[in-house]
Structure 1
Amino acid sequence: MPIHMMPDWQRYLNQVPQMDAMVHQAKLFTLNKEAVELVVCDYLPKFRALLSQNGLEGLSYWSAYDCLQNVNIKQQQPLGVHDFTWPPDAQFIRMYDRVLIMVKRQHYATIWPAYPSGDLFDRIDLMENDKLKQQLTLDDRGFVSRVVNFENDVVVRVDYLTPSGDIAVQENYQTGLVTTQQSWTGQKTFPNMNALIREVSVRYLKTLPPEEILLVAQTGRNVEILDQLPAGYQIITTYNGDYAESTVQVPTNGQQIIASQPGEVPALQANSLVQVPLEVIPPFAAQLVLGRAAPHNNLPIFWAVNQVDEQLRHQIMRTLIQLVQEHRELNIVCESSQAVDDLRAIVAEAAQQMASQPGSTTADVQAFQDQFIFIPPQSEGQLLDWFHATYLLLDFGNRPNTYLQTLAISKGIPQLNRVATPYLVNGQNGQILQEPSQIIAVVNQYLEDWNYWMNIQTAAIRLSYEFDQQELWEKWQEVLKRARLGNKYGEK
């Protein structure tokens, strides 16, 4: 019997899910010969590409939008420029991140590649009098899947199409109302798209034998779907606070709950209306691949800036500037999804002060500024590249990033946090600090005493066994065994 996994991928419209617990769980299950079917309730026109880029090609799936749009195609066969009919005098101008199409010196259309590889086309913007008129979303199976209609640059209607180009679902963006012609229901109008998705998803899940397992990412929409199922389904709810909604919701008919770390347990217990087994299983497996045995002359500190308020991040940056001024072998890599103009300004101010000092050269000032590297959120592959050389992970957020912490364990990298987590043993593979000013003393210890590095390597080896694939799989086997036996809470 397959395990039916309901992810939460609505934020991944055209992107590869990054640091997503259910992606890693699907890999772990398939690696251990468990049959998996994905139950996808999100609109993902590049879904085949997403599976391929995550090493999950060939995985069985059911899609709510495929059902609504009467799509039975499974193979990836993306559209190219020449699959469309263009005006005979159209000119194609290839740019770095798009293809402009000009007709009689007027902007006729723009073709956008899909992130991140660019080997697929994502969408086509059709222009009229230099204003966006329609946006065509391209499905990676070779058809236009959705048409977004604009008036004065404002979305007024969205049409979801069948592969033959007929309108299957129409969403009015002014009222939210959705109209559809579905053979499986006599209802033709729904108050919004979520209501329609909920209806078709519940219908599909009710066709599954109750003894089969549903492994569901905790979201408000998924909980609404599950709450409409009759009793008897083996529902396992997974929660990962790194990326879950701020409001914790647990389905009333769930049989088990899986948290990603102990700190999530109180909120999950408080929001569970019935007493069910609650296990803690880390979402990401550690794989020990130790880097350098000791510090060297190029030492990047990777700072995860997110979840830090303005005052604290300014304090941290000024502390890091002081460190760099004392240790020119250090580089600071700042990863943030937020604007970092304020942090750049603090570095620029320190550079100006340095330039005014006697004996300071332009080259010295530039070298100092080059030691601060600002990067947007990175993919898993990019993070692996960074962590091959990273010297230390700094994460002062209230909830340190679980994936980064797992990477730090895998690479034997010390961590500096402000809160305790299962991935950091204080005084062994890192330190729990209260104030940014403490960073300087700790880093100096790491730089000056190789014994600290020996402690870090020893702790990394031990922790890597606690979080490796085999350990995680053994925990999941217990959960799956309980679900298959249909045991009640407390029974073995």
Structure 2
Amino acid sequence: MLYFIPAWYQQNKWKELEQSWHTRRMHTEFDDTVKQVQMFHRSGMHDFKILLLSHTPNFRHFLHRQGVLHASYWSCFDAIQEVTKKKAVVFSFHNLNWPEGIEFVYTPFVVVAYLKNEKYAQIEFGEAGNPIEVAMYQNGLVSKRNIYDDRGFVSAMEAYDQGKLLYTDYLTEAGVAKMRVYADDGRVEINPQNNTFLVFDGDEVETVKFSSLNYPNLGEVIREVFYTHILMNNDDDIFCIAMHNQNIQVANELIGREKCILSFYGDRYRIKDHPEAKELVKKAGYIITDSEATSRYLVRELGEEIENLIDISPYDSRMDFGISGELTVQKVLVPVDDLPEDRFKALVIQLASYLPQNENAMIHLFTRNATYNWPEVLLNKVADIVEEAGFDRRIVIPEEIEDDTAENEVDLEDEEEEEIPVRFFVEQCVDELSVSKCIREQRIMVDMRHNPDLYLQINCISTAIPQIIRRETQYMQNMYNGFVVKDFEQIPAALDYFLGSLANWNQAKVYSYDIAQKFTTRKLLEKWKEVRAYMESQERK
């Protein structure tokens, strides 16, 4: 059996990423473990199970969003709270015990309950329309918040004093308090009248007592329950641990005693910031990274070559040539997040200098920053740069038409003034679905950051569009499906090479298709077979 221990945490807390349906999504749910689970679930190549350490009362909805609803999993908090239900159920907030005289007001986003003309409660809903929490109010301040499990019961209750969180109680299916976690110091108290947790061994369930009624933090409770659970594993079991701060304690428990794979994904866990983990990493049975760049970084930080290291892309290529060739405009996708100010300014100036020679080119600034007014801020910043460089700022921000009584008395000369078309736009994409939708319309990508966006590069070869980047990667071969450009002044010429000649663009399309064949699901699964074969050949350390 292959066990995946994911890093699906909310800001380094033992909580899931679920949020209200109307809340702007500030993060993506996709990571290496999501892709690994998807591949194994769809291929049926190997038996696997997800080991969840965080409190995930809406986990069934998460699995549904990722297309792996029936994936097998074990939940540490289900064991702690003695929950045995597996299927989500439909339940209504109307079925809760409301006081007599309660009145519900339906807003476009939430349902607010009023009692005697005072706000009594506010009901929040998830993306599937299920109630996920009910906040209770006293004198206009939150006094209690019930967090609902998608299986139809209250999973946790947060208590507040004057709007400040005091503690969180985690409950059983029957509503009995199991443990209390205090907000000020994180200490945990186990209910002495209900001081047991469940251990699952196949279809058999055993009840075990906690070793103590008091713990310094929630991590210690999770460590004890998790350790008791893995004692039931077999000699041929393999654990794939997503490297994350919350998972280090688990990694320390497993590495050196079990067959373990460590999975590194982007900047989620940088060894440079955690030198104490270097020896732990060296002891791992195998190390998987998301790219060649991450592998090189890891080798450099560890200071030695690593034989049991492989990069397996968390994204597979799927040929979809997009619709950019059918559009009259030529959209240029330009990622700008984390670009230093001097590079950002130089990039904008070179892009603006290219536009006069290609009236069909449009610059689409790509950002994953989900801040509400970020597109406006970004465009104003670009407008200032182009104006300072001698270009008309109206190519970024259109001139506003003043609405006054003299509007009908505009001079004929003003009417004949040439209209300046807008050439700069912002693509604000957070999750992978919106990124894929956006890139289907792009004609070329210009990513001048030190490390190009991995997902964007995979999408570029999948949609077969050229890339202009600062250094060659496994997804872009210089002079074939793109250009390596280190001097910003070369950008206009590189753009003209692909956008000014359909033959050059089509040639890059062919090369992109060839490269994409190396990153199909089948190729990625072959790499996983190599890792599995290696791990299964090793004796338990």
Q: Is TM > 0.5 for Structure 1 vs Structure 2?
A: yes
- Residue 524 of structure 2 is matched in structure 1 by 472
Deviation, structure 1 residue 142: 0.9
2:525 maps to amino acid: W
- Residue 453 of structure 2 is matched in structure 1 by 401
- Residue 149 of structure 2 is matched in structure 1 by 139
Using the TM superposition, name which of 397-406 and 313-322 deviates more: 313-322
Q: CA 1:274–1:398 in structure 2 vs 1: closer, same or farther (change >3 Å)?
A: closer
**Is the CA contact (8 Å cut-off) linking 2:49 and 2:73 kept in structure 1?**
yes
- Residue 129 of structure 1 is matched in structure 2 by 139
Q: CA 1:227–1:298 in structure 2 vs 1: closer, same or farther (change >3 Å)?
A: same
- Residue 57 of structure 1 is matched in structure 2 by 69
**Is the CA contact (8 Å cut-off) linking 1:94 and 1:100 kept in structure 2?**
yes
Q: CA 1:290–1:108 in structure 2 vs 1: closer, same or farther (change >3 Å)?
A: same
- 1:112 equivalent in alignment to 2:124: yes
SS at match of 2:495: helix
**Is the CA contact (8 Å cut-off) linking 2:258 and 2:540 kept in structure 1?**
no
- Residue 4 of structure 1 is matched in structure 2 by 3
Deviation, structure 1 residue 448: 0.7
Q: CA 1:159–1:482 in structure 2 vs 1: closer, same or farther (change >3 Å)?
A: same
For residues 315-350 of structure 1, give each alpha carbon's deviation from its aligned partner in whole angstroms, at most 9, with x where no partner exists.
434444444565453141432316535422135555
- Residue 258 of structure 2 is matched in structure 1 by 233
**Is the CA contact (8 Å cut-off) linking 2:324 and 2:443 kept in structure 1?**
no
Deviation, structure 1 residue 384: 2.2
For residues 25-47 of structure 1, give each alpha carbon's deviation from its aligned partner in whole angstroms, at most 9, with x where no partner exists.
11212233221100111222210
Return the alpha-carbon distance in structure 2 between the equivalents of residues 361 and 80 of structure 1: 62
Deviation, structure 1 residue 427: 2.2
- 1:32 equivalent in alignment to 2:64: no
Q: Determine which of 22, 29, 49 is the counterpart of 2:33.
A: 22
SS at match of 1:31: helix
Identity of aligned residues (%): 21
Using the TM superposition, name which of 22-31 and 179-188 deviates more: 179-188
For residues 407-451 of structure 1, give each alpha carbon's deviation from its aligned partner in whole angstroms, at most 9, with x where no partner exists.
111111222323432212122222232254433332222221123
Q: Determine which of 265, 275, 285 is the counterpart of 1:255.
A: 285
What are the residue-to-residue correspondences of 1:170-189 with 2, within 5 Å? 170-181=180-191, 182-183=195-196, 184-189=209-214
Return the alpha-carbon distance in structure 1 between the equivalents of residues 289 and 508 of structure 2: 27
**Is the CA contact (8 Å cut-off) linking 1:236 and 1:255 kept in structure 2?**
yes
Return the alpha-carbon distance in structure 2 between the equivalents of residues 449 and 159 of structure 1: 65
Q: CA 1:364–1:384 in structure 2 vs 1: closer, same or farther (change >3 Å)?
A: same
**Is the CA contact (8 Å cut-off) linking 1:305 and 1:336 kept in structure 2?**
no
Return the alpha-carbon distance in structure 1 between the equivalents of residues 229 and 489 of structure 2: 56
Give the TM-score normalised by the residue count of structure 2: 0.81
Q: Determine which of 198, 214, 229 is the counterpart of 2:223.
A: 198
Using the TM superposition, name which of 44-53 and 244-253 deviates more: 244-253
1:345 maps to amino acid: N
- Residue 80 of structure 1 is matched in structure 2 by 92
Return the alpha-carbon distance in structure 2 between the equivalents of residues 28 and 84 of structure 1: 40
Could you tell me which runs of 5 or more consecutive residues in structure 1 were left unpaired when the two chains were aligned. Answer: none
Could you tell me which runs of 5 or more consecutive residues in structure 2 were left unpaired when the two chains were aligned. Answer: 11-15, 20-26, 197-208, 400-412
Using the TM superposition, name which of 83-92 and 54-63 deviates more: 83-92
2:55 maps to amino acid: Y
SS at match of 2:109: coil
Return the alpha-carbon distance in structure 2 between the equivalents of residues 332 and 352 of structure 1: 16
Give the TM-score normalised by the residue count of structure 1: 0.88
Return the alpha-carbon distance in structure 2 between the equivalents of residues 41 and 415 of structure 1: 40
Q: CA 1:452–1:62 in structure 2 vs 1: closer, same or farther (change >3 Å)?
A: same
SS at match of 2:381: helix
**Is the CA contact (8 Å cut-off) linking 1:17 and 1:23 kept in structure 2?**
no
Q: CA 1:317–1:119 in structure 2 vs 1: closer, same or farther (change >3 Å)?
A: farther
Q: CA 1:95–1:40 in structure 2 vs 1: closer, same or farther (change >3 Å)?
A: same
- Residue 172 of structure 2 is matched in structure 1 by 162
- Residue 205 of structure 2 is matched in structure 1 by none
SS at match of 2:36: helix
SS at match of 2:253: coil
Deviation, structure 1 residue 165: 1.3
- Residue 422 of structure 2 is matched in structure 1 by 368
**Is the CA contact (8 Å cut-off) linking 2:28 and 2:432 kept in structure 1?**
no
Instruction: Note the aligned Cα RMSD (angstroms).
Output: 3.0
- Residue 482 of structure 2 is matched in structure 1 by 430
Deviation, structure 1 residue 313: 3.0
